[in-house]
Chain A
Amino acid sequence: MSETELDPVIHAQARLRVVATLAALGPGDRISFPRLQDTLDMTAGNLSTHLRKLEDAEYITILKTHEGRKPASYVELTSRGRLAFETYTASLTALLRGTTP
């Protein structure tokens, strides 16, 4: 593969922040939409847009559930998403070192 083919799904500031946040949780952990929104300091609409893209790429799954009577959503990085993030991080590190991954 030739040099800088960074994953376009992740290589956008907002989505990188989303994925980095999800990857910082342990494997198998999911975070509620409001808490994720709070951690990222993004608007609900903006976050939803990016989550949809990540979901389309199968990098995340969104679990829709109910807490009492209120609907609640939980977001989790899939193993595919975690792998993509690790590959992306390795590519950035390699770029910085001036070598190809």
Chain B
Amino acid sequence: MTDDGTARPTGSAPDAAPGPSPEPTFDAAEGLRIIAAQTAKVRSQEPDARAIFAAWGVAWLVGYLAMYLTATGRLGQPRVVEGVDQPASWAFVVFALSIVGAMVFTIVHSTRANTGIQGVSASFGAMYGWTWCLGFAGMSVMLGGLSRAGAGAEVMALAANACACLLVGVLYMAGGAFWQDRQQYAIGVWIILVAAVAVFAGLPHTYLVMAVLGGGGFFVGMVLEHLRRRRSATAGAGFAGAGRRVGA
């Protein structure tokens, strides 16, 4: 079969006419290999869930650990407010910077990977991204309301953590449901479980639970995603199905 294509495979037929544009023929196996290679190339340009999980794992581990260590007096003097041992001010700064850092990384990584792609996924991604932002903005206002209504330092600390984790967990589950990504869904369930345990653990242990089990959950997710990629790479299959994306 000849056509006016131009791409030439390595080791093309030696008896092919030396015309300007011989279309190299190929067999079924080569055709399937080409399809698998292109599919893999497209997948490799999608956001890497491993990197995003790693960023959040580090952020939670470092941020919450700083809060725990200072609140228990293992790092500096504990600050007592209303009879509750509070993390040091700098620990809150470390926590905020960790979270903002992971957020910026996620946004930059996802945006870069999705540059030049428009349509259904992009508009879903944009709405989903805004859902995170608006959800947290709304949550902050509500927490402000709780504080104004007289919630004490301990209740505020527990409520802030619980609400944030509930939101994160639900959004992971929603993302997992939409993208049919069980791993992402499972992480959402795990975050809600951990946050529930963390509330009952009470301050300052809440922070330790979040650092170890919460941060650790992301690392487990990272490892599982890595194994999944290796499996699908060795299987050489997987040219069906829609793109896989992961949210913050």
Contacts and interface: CB of A to CB of B under 8 A. Distances in A.
B34 interface: yes
B34 A17 contact: yes
Q: What size tier do the contact residues of chain B reach?
A: 20 to 34
Contacts of A15: 5
A57 to B, nearest CB: 13
A15 B39 CA distance: 14
B38 interface: yes
Interface string B139-181: 0000000000000000000000000000000000000000000
A46 interface: yes
B115 interface: yes
A79 interface: no
B122 A95 contact: no
B130 interface: no
B42 A27 contact: no
Given A32-B116, A39-B42, A95-B28, A17 B7 contact: yes
B3 A29 contact: no
A40 B118 CA distance: 18
A44 interface: no
Contact of B117 (A14, A29, A49): A29
25 contacts: A8-B1, A13-B5, A13-B24, A13-B26, A14-B7, A17-B7, A20-B34, A20-B39, A20-B239, A21-B38, A21-B42, A24-B39, A24-B243, A26-B120, A26-B242, A27-B242, A28-B120, A30-B118, A31-B116, A36-B116, A40-B38, A42-B7, A50-B5, A89-B239, A93-B28
